Amino acid sequence: MSVASGYRACVIGLGSMGMGAALSCVKAGIATSGIDLDAGRRDAFAAAGAEAVADSVAGLSGAFDAVIVLVVNAAQARAVILGEAGIASRVAPGGAIMVSCTQSAEDAKALGRDLEAMGILMLDAPVSGGAAKAAAGEMTVMASGSAAAFDKLAPVLDAVASKTYNIGPEIGQGATVKVIHQLLAGVHIAVGAEAMALAARAGIPLETMYDVVTNAAGNSWMFENRMKHVVEGDYTPTSAVDIFVKDLGLVTETGRSLKFPLPLASAAFAMFQEASNMGHGGEDDSAVIKTFSGIELPKKEG
CATH 3.40.50.720 domain residues, the chain = 8-169
Number of CB atoms found within 10 A of residue 173's CB = 20
φ and ψ at residue 200, rounded to 5 degrees? -60, -45
238 has pLDDT over 90? no
* CB-CB contact of 194 with 222 (8 Å): no
Cα(68)–Cα(79) distance, rounded to whole angstroms? 14
What does the pLDDT average to over 115-136? 95
Cα(258)–Cα(252) distance, rounded to whole angstroms? 10
178 is catalytic: yes
Instruction: Please state the pTM of the whole predicted model.
Output: 0.93
* pLDDT confidence bin for 131, thresholds 50/70/90: confident
**Per-residue pLDDT reduced to its tens digit, 28-46:** 999 999 999 999 999 999 9
Cα(49)–Cα(127) distance, rounded to whole angstroms? 23
Report the CATH number of the 177-291 domain.
1.10.1040.10
Q: Is 23 exposed, middle or buried (0-12, 13-18, 19+ CB in 10 A)?
A: buried
Active-site position among 178, 246, 290, 300: 178
Closest C-alpha among 13, 12, 71 to residue 243: 71
Cα(226)–Cα(175) distance, rounded to whole angstroms? 24
CATH 1.10.1040.10 domain residues, the chain = 177-291
* pLDDT confidence bin for 237, thresholds 50/70/90: very high
**Per-residue pLDDT reduced to its tens digit, 74-101:** 999 999 999 988 999 999 999 999 999 9
270 has pLDDT over 70? yes
169 has pLDDT over 70? yes
Mean pLDDT of the chain: 96
**Per-residue pLDDT reduced to its tens digit, 180-212:** 999 999 999 999 999 999 999 999 999 999 999
Binning the chain into helix, strand and coil, the percentages to the nearest 5 are: 55, 15, 30
Look at 131 and 294; give whichever has higher pLDDT.
294
Q: Is 184 exposed, middle or buried (0-12, 13-18, 19+ CB in 10 A)?
A: middle
Instruction: Judge: domain 8-169, CATH 3.40.50.720.
Output: yes
* pLDDT confidence bin for 1, thresholds 50/70/90: low
Number of CB atoms found within 10 A of residue 115's CB = 21
Those residues whose C-beta lies under 8 Å from the C-beta of residue 85, and which sit 6 or more positions away, are 56, 57, 58
Cα(78)–Cα(73) distance, rounded to whole angstroms? 9
Provide the strand spans (E) within the chain. Answer: 8-12, 31-35, 52-54, 64-69, 91-99, 121-124, 127-128, 139-144, 161-168
pLDDT for 301: 83
* pLDDT confidence bin for 2, thresholds 50/70/90: low
What is the Rg, in whole angstroms, of the alpha carbon atoms belonging to the chain? 20
pLDDT for 119: 97
* DSSP character at residue 3: P
172 has pLDDT over 90? yes
What does the pLDDT average to over 174-184? 98
152 has pLDDT over 90? yes
